[in-house]
Amino acid sequence: MVKGWLFYTTSIIITYCFKVQKMSNDLIDKQRETLCRHIENVQRGCSILGERLIERNEDILGHKLIANGYLHDNSKFYGIEWKHLHTDSKKNKPELFQIASFHHITINKHHPEYWDGGIHKMPRLYLCELICDWNARSSEFGNDIRTWVKKHGTKKYNMIVQSTTYKEIKELINILLDSTFV
């Protein structure tokens, strides 16, 4: 009787472990797919904007932007960012998600939080990459980058529409999307 119970209990534990492992692998696969899709979207944006900047005789900026697209968000594949900078962690471990998010935005130059003076002091190269990032995120969530910049970006980054930074962002979005932003 004991052997039967032990066998039954052991098989339940083993089955549970396989299910947990499978679930864990599924979450990792989803996380990797989501991250790779985002990076590919940013790379595409950096390539488009970079090519258009080259056409406008901003060769060095265009080439550097294209190169940056290939390095975009690499930090998300390692350490605390890999472990906690995703939706599951945001829901279940919000404090670790916050730490991972802070880590990400303070070590990646395409985030205004990296720079003393924020978005207003960002070099044009990283502002271009930021716009490609915003555009990728906007499209991934079915939103319009222009609407996001007007409604949320201005508040989040303390920009007024008359500012040089806002005008530069508008100009770069227009170049990226090849249409007018009013």
pLDDT truncated to tens, each residue of the chain (182 aa)? 445 544 444 444 444 334 434 447 777 888 899 999 999 999 999 999 999 999 999 999 999 999 999 999 999 999 999 999 988 889 999 999 999 999 999 999 999 999 999 999 999 999 999 999 999 999 999 999 999 999 999 999 999 999 999 999 999 999 999 865 55
pLDDT score recorded for residue 182: 53
Residues 157 and 119: beta-carbon distance below 8 Å: yes
Q: What is the pLDDT of residue 29?
A: 86
* HSE, side-chain direction, 13 A CA sphere, residue 150: 8
pLDDT attached to residue 27: 76
What's the CA gap between 87 and 48, in Å, rounded?
A: 29
- Give the residue among 139, 175, 146 at the shortest CA–CA distance from 62: 175
> Residue 121: is it exposed, middle or buried by C-beta count within 10 angstroms (0-12/13-18/19+)?
exposed
Question: Is the distance from CB of 176 to CB of 48 less than 8 angstroms?
Answer: yes
Q: Which two tokens stand for residue 161?
A: 């529409």
Say what the pTM is.
Answer: 0.83
Looking at residue 44, its pLDDT comes to 97
The amino acid occupying position 174 is N
CA dist 161 and 176 (Å) reads 19
In which residue are the tokens 């130059």 written?
109
Cα angle, residue 117 at apex, residues 107 and 161 outer, rounded to 5°: 115
The two structure tokens encoding residue 74: 């690499």
Secondary structure of residue 93 in the 3-state scheme: coil
pLDDT at 179: 66
Three-state SS at 107:
helix
* Structural contact between residues 62 and 47, judged by C-beta atoms closer than 8 angstroms: no
Contact status, residue 49 vs residue 65, Cβ threshold 8 Å? yes
Question: 129, 72 in Cβ contact below 8 A?
Answer: yes
